[in-house]
Structure 1
């Protein structure tokens, strides 16, 4: 029986951590990709192993080509051929109007959210095409279609690019037996808001959400897990909105 080996970038916290745990429940061996917090990543890996599957942690900056190569090489060396990729690593940049955002912040958002997703997707496509199967799930955002004026139009723009990548790459890789989809979360109650200096943001904007609450990381992870599963075997090129109706 072929083992499922899935790389989750940004797997040490938030949606990424919830995704690692959910995929472990579904029988995936998990590579917990992280940038800085090795301790948090190892805690996630320990919980993954409690589901009876294997887990390794690999530190990597997904916007750096050499790091991406090392991420996949480490995964393959320790767990076996990579069968799945969840492109979850991302940053919002500062909240506020575009006119007030520094160029360095703009560059970081583009490099992590778009270039990082491209580099990881390219590396996954190379290994998956050789075997004739695989699944890629990109974590986009409802901001891609809302634009997020006054908050982070720069972030929204990169997520719109991720949506286009998802559709195009799905058509490119479909003949090779590889499915490519995305989830587009709305406001999710994670620490990302506090890291940007607005810890109450998720609750504050709940009045604009039809379901009147922010999402939970586990709800986004459930959608990712479905797209990774055989139940979604005829689903590709799809951006699945998980946003409480917003």
Structure 2
């Protein structure tokens, strides 16, 4: 029988930061359910990698911008005490006035509306207590002018969600926290048409480099652990000082 005390759902859990979080939580002995949107080969590879660490892992194809997708995730997960609200996306780097309106709507759906609905479902799923870790972004406080102001605004909404919901459900034994990564070595930059962005942006970071997904995953693992038992309704920045 699955150990409910160590069972976690990760949305967008099969690539980039999500996959790093999956590996890190698996090292803590957590059984996992990993949501993904469309990249089945990466999902299968991450599932197999996690299973090789000796824990149970299932993958679920689901779109968090739909009610059905969110229901499928939580039905597959069953009894849990942890949710990592990680799924999100960016589509291009451009000034706001040059960004198509439909793309702005899609960005909010994926990065704010969907995660808010996941958090809503998580409160019911964590009826006996647990932890919700939202993945925000350092962009939430920097604004990201000339790149993706709308994405930064959506992530600022995640910070507000974390604060408000954390206060709302503290009495239910549920902690709600967020991690805000800064410049991170993932394929997001290439996928949005700027593969050289890390090299170009790294000198602007006080620590002089981008983070690895594993460094972000360490912050998530700590926040989910009992060592962070007095931490809620707050966002931890993992931004290299920026």
Question: C-alpha separation between the residues in 2 aligned to 1:75 and 1:224?
Answer: 19
Q: Following TM superposition, by how much is the alpha carbon of 1:238 offset from its aligned partner in structure 2, in angstroms?
A: 1.3
Question: C-alpha separation between the residues in 1 aligned to 2:9 and 2:53?
Answer: 17
Question: C-alpha separation between the residues in 2 aligned to 1:192 and 1:23?
Answer: 22
Query: Which of 59, 64, 67 does residue 66 from structure 2 map onto?
Result: 64
Q: Following TM superposition, by how much is the alpha carbon of 1:82 offset from its aligned partner in structure 2, in angstroms?
A: 1.6
Q: Does 1:140 align with 2:136?
A: yes
Aligned with 1:23: secondary structure? helix
Aligned with 1:198: secondary structure? coil
Aligned residue for 1:82? 80
Aligned residue for 2:194? 198
Q: Following TM superposition, by how much is the alpha carbon of 1:2 offset from its aligned partner in structure 2, in angstroms?
A: 4.3
**Cα contact 2:91–2:191 (8 A) shared by 1:** no
Question: C-alpha separation between the residues in 1 aligned to 2:11 and 2:198?
Answer: 23
Q: Does 1:36 align with 2:38?
A: yes
Q: Following TM superposition, by how much is the alpha carbon of 1:3 offset from its aligned partner in structure 2, in angstroms?
A: 3.7
Gaps of 5+ in 1: none
Question: C-alpha separation between the residues in 2 aligned to 1:136 and 1:147?
Answer: 25
Gaps of 5+ in 2: none
Question: C-alpha separation between the residues in 1 aligned to 2:141 and 2:153?
Answer: 9
Question: C-alpha separation between the residues in 2 aligned to 1:90 and 1:65?
Answer: 16
**Cα contact 1:82–1:124 (8 A) shared by 2:** no
After TM superposition, the score normalised by the length of structure 2 is 0.97
**Cα contact 1:3–1:29 (8 A) shared by 2:** no
Question: C-alpha separation between the residues in 2 aligned to 1:26 and 1:178?
Answer: 20
Question: C-alpha separation between the residues in 1 aligned to 2:106 and 2:73?
Answer: 20
After TM superposition, the score normalised by the length of structure 1 is 0.96
Q: Following TM superposition, by how much is the alpha carbon of 1:34 offset from its aligned partner in structure 2, in angstroms?
A: 0.3
Aligned with 1:154: secondary structure? helix
Count of aligned pairs between the two proteins: 240
